[in-house]
Amino acid sequence: MEITSEQVPQPPVTALLAAAGDADLLVIGSRGLSGVTGFLVGSVGLGLLAQTERPAVLVRFGARAEDEHQPDADGRPSAATRFRDVVLGLDHEHPDDAVIAFAFEAAARRAARLRVVHGASLPPYFAYGLATDPALGGELARQEESAVEAVLAPWREKFPGVEVVEQAAVGNAGGHLVDAAADASLVVVGRRIPLGPRIGPVTHAVLHHTTAPVAVIPHH
């Protein structure tokens, strides 16, 4: 592996954005854990994640190789066991190939299971406190499942060796992703470039409250 280093007389965000312009991947770190706000993602990290147009992975301070693997038969940390799941936060209403491809490729490299967490819309009557209609609720659930299946079908065919598990998230998508990532080797989320230099609420929650590495994939 060829390793090079360079010191640039520019502010960190400016220099790193320029360096990442022709890179396949930008890797940055985070600070320690705050008991109040979760992980401390510094201004440089947030600035890069909000502005870069290249895939970026945030790795936690103190992360170890064995953190990405299942414990061994005795329950002890090991870097020789199977990888934990890769978790993909999927916006099935506005799916993007770059985000989905990154997650499938990451799972394939690790020979890991891909857990796809997607939003599930609540029936409109919930907003008005009306009695639930089981038939309507069931139909909406089937529509959600069909939409997700349609998005994932070509990727399942392209990556037949990747086991895919779907998980519907009703309500706070960020909270569901954080929960799903508790035993993940990697979390993959998207960031829409047209929204400008900012990070959406779901990605923000994952960055600050997930112990696993987080891949943020910019897309149009």
pLDDT for the residue 116: 95
Of residues 170, 157, 184, 153, the one with CA closest to residue 88: 184
Q: Residues 15-21: what's their mean pLDDT?
A: 92
Q: How many degrees, rounded to 5, is the angle at CA 87 between CA 67 and CA 190?
A: 120
Sign of the CA dihedral 204, 207, 211, 212? positive
Q: If DSSP states are collapsed to H, E and C, what string results for 80-121?
A: CCCECEEEEEECCCCCCHHHHHHHHHHHHHHCCCEEEEEEEC
What beta strand segments (E) does the chain contain?
26-29, 33-34, 38-39, 56-59, 85-90, 114-120, 164-170, 184-192, 214-219
pLDDT tens-place string over residues 112-153 = 999 999 876 555 545 445 445 555 445 555 677 788 899 999
Q: Residues 187-199: what's their mean pLDDT?
A: 82
pLDDT tens-place string over residues 71-128 = 999 999 999 999 999 999 998 888 999 999 999 999 999 999 999 998 765 555 454 4
pLDDT for the residue 140: 58
Domain extent listing, the chain: 23-219
Most confident listed range (32-46, 155-169, 193-207): 155-169
Q: How confident is the model at residue 209 (pLDDT cuts 50, 70, 90)?
A: confident
What letter represents residue 52's amino acid? T
Between the alpha carbon of residue 115 and those of residues 67, 87, 118, 155, 203, the distances in Å are: 18, 5, 10, 13, 17
pLDDT tens-place string over residues 26-40 = 999 876 555 444 555
**pTM of the predicted structure, to 2 decimals:** 0.87
**99 - beta bridge partners?**
none
3-class secondary structure, 10: coil
Per CATH, which fold does 23-219 belong to? Rossmann fold (3.40.50)
